[in-house]
Structure 1
Amino acid sequence: MDEGIVTGEGVLLDARPASFASRALGAVIDLLLLGVVGFIAVMVLVATGAVSSDQGARIVGVVLLATGTVIVPTTVETLTRGRSLGKLIAGIRIVRDDGGPIVFRQAFVRALVGVGELWAAGGSVALISSMVHPQGKRIGDMLAGTYAVRVRGKAPRRDVLPMPPHLARWAQDADIARLPDGLALSARQFVLRAGRLHPASRVELGSELTAQVQRYVRPLPPPGTHPESFLVAVLAERRTRELEAQLRAASRDSREAALLHRLPHGVPDPVD
């Protein structure tokens, strides 16, 4: 079962690490494309006489090497936010460890380290690192704080938490508006994964999350309420209120949009 990626805060991200095969496919496509572009560039330089001397050939070689191994990969990953043509075809993207898009610094570190682990070592270092690391990271990813995620494939199923019937009335009147999003997400991930946890860990983590959530809920549930039932009730009611708020906002936006299209001063709208 695909568990996704868990951050240091215990939050499960939707992004799933890309497989080694997907990363290899993207790298091969990028390499072939870079080789074609480099070949065309060399042919143009030869035709224009830019490499007529040995010194000129050496200078052009160094420039092409630096461009192909560092400048082009850095520029492409920065402009595309981690998605070159090869990665696009393979259905993967390079992102930061927190799931956000990469910037110039991460792209540059990846390309610079890649000179050694990809080009100088023939890809052997990156191959071993990707196979050993649980998220398929190569050394450049470790130093840059990035990893490759899958952006295609079957979307993960979203389980809807049912409201415990005996807590429905209490939840409707409870004040849960101050519950932080991060804490709510952690509680949701715990509830969904509780059946797969060790019993002792399940009790410990459930009690800890319940104590944290109770600080933001008033009044507290009836005495004797099971911690997991309390968490499910809070999350289910929170979801219901968020959906209702979204529906009200959509309705309000529709009314305001209709008013903006009406003529001022009571002038009737033209009839088509």
Structure 2
Amino acid sequence: MPTPGPAVEIQQDEILTGEAVALDVQPVGYFLRAVGVLIDMVAGVALFLLLAAAASWAAGRNVLGGDLTSVFTIVVLVLVTVVIPTAVETATRGRSLGKLVIGARIVRTDGGAAGFRQAFIRALVGVFELWFTLGAVAGIVGAFTPRAERLGDLLAGTYSERTRTPKLPPEPPGVPPVLAGWAAVADVGRLPDRLARRIAQFVRQARDLEPAARTRTAMSLAAETRTFVAPVPAVDPETFLLGVVAVRRERELRALRGEDERAAALTAGVDVAPRGFPVR
């Protein structure tokens, strides 16, 4: 009897692909999404008024009769509330004017792009929860759903995903040239993780500190670090800290790559021994 595999725990902000891979996603927050919906509704009202003005002009010139004017009004309402939102979201893969402004798009709950069916269900339900109730139903439902989903999202199986992600932090500096020789023989393995995190944080934020505070912090951290590093190079405190962070990062990265290589070799059925020991 085969042994069942480990259970996969899916967090609130994760989706599970068909290959059972959990992907981290960033749903749009409640208030930001409300802004996007408000922009779409204002755009819809503006479009309706524009078309209504065109109908009034046509009625004034006897282009449309009384019965045709009523029919034209109903057609405009259907266009503004259902047809145009469905067409826009289908053509743009879940985008609209409001979503473009807030940096979002509508996607399926499995992470795939939304299509015509999802857009049509959302627009049709939106007639009730957005237009007939002025967004009250959408606001109440969104406040009690994990990803600020409105009723149309729940029925269509969609949610609003963030498309604007924060910028990646700048690449950390390498070993200063003056410490190139020292980095080859430096022992930084005894450095406590808590102190290492403080040093790394200082290196990232050093440029934003005032010169006096920058110098004072570098001297304090360097005094703590010298106890755990050997040999101690004869450089200024900030250069010393830059070298320690760079050496520690490079060695940890090398260790992680080594673990990946050994795991890949074991998966391929190749015997792998720790460095320095022959494979028997």
- Could you tell me the TM-score, scaled by structure 2's length? 0.56
Displacement of 1:171 in angstroms is 5.5
Provide the C-alpha distance between the structure 2 equivalents of 1:14 and 1:73, rounded to a whole number of angstroms: 28
Is the 1:17–1:135 contact (alpha carbons within 8 Å) kept by the matching residues of 2?
yes
Partner of 1:99: 111
Write the deviation string for residues 56-108 of structure 1: whole angstroms up to 9, x where unpaired.
Answer: 23212211111111101000101111111111011111111122221111111
Partner of 1:83: 95
Q: Does 1:30 align with 2:40?
A: yes
- Local SS of the residue matching 1:101: coil
Partner of 2:180: none
Partner of 1:196: none
Provide the C-alpha distance between the structure 1 equivalents of 2:115 and 2:102, rounded to a whole number of angstroms: 21
- Local SS of the residue matching 1:154: coil
Provide the C-alpha distance between the structure 2 equivalents of 1:45 and 1:37, rounded to a whole number of angstroms: 12
Matches within 5 A, 1:1-272: 5-8=13-16, 11-49=21-59, 50-53=63-66, 55-155=67-167, 162-164=253-255, 168=258, 172=261, 175=264, 216-219=267-270
Query: Among the aligned pairs, what percent are the same residue?
Result: 37
Provide the C-alpha distance between the structure 2 equivalents of 1:42 and 1:220, rounded to a whole number of angstroms: 77
Letter of the 1:20 partner, please give it.
Y
Provide the C-alpha distance between the structure 1 equivalents of 2:272 and 2:128, rounded to a whole number of angstroms: 59
Is the 1:46–1:52 contact (alpha carbons within 8 Å) kept by the matching residues of 2?
no
Letter of the 1:7 partner, please give it.
I
- Local SS of the residue matching 1:95: strand
Displacement of 1:17 in angstroms is 0.5
Provide the C-alpha distance between the structure 2 equivalents of 1:100 and 1:25, rounded to a whole number of angstroms: 24
Is the 2:47–2:80 contact (alpha carbons within 8 Å) kept by the matching residues of 1?
no
Q: Computing the radius of gyration over CA atoms, which structure comes out larger, 1 or 2?
A: 2
Summarize the Cα distance change of 1:128–1:156 in structure 2 as closer, same or farther, 3 Å threshold.
farther
Letter of the 1:93 partner, please give it.
R
- Could you tell me the TM-score, scaled by structure 1's length? 0.57
Letter of the 2:116 partner, please give it.
F
Question: Between Structure 1 and Structure 2, how many residues are aligned?
Answer: 180
Is the 1:22–1:90 contact (alpha carbons within 8 Å) kept by the matching residues of 2?
yes
Could you say which structure has the greater relative contact order, defined with CA pairs below 8 angstroms and 6 or more residues apart? 1
Is the 1:82–1:93 contact (alpha carbons within 8 Å) kept by the matching residues of 2?
yes
Is the 2:106–2:114 contact (alpha carbons within 8 Å) kept by the matching residues of 1?
yes
Provide the C-alpha distance between the structure 2 equivalents of 1:104 and 1:87, rounded to a whole number of angstroms: 17
Write the deviation string for residues 143-201 of structure 1: whole angstroms up to 9, x where unpaired.
Answer: 111110111241477xx983537x93x8547656xxxxxxxxxxxxxxxxxxxxxxxxx
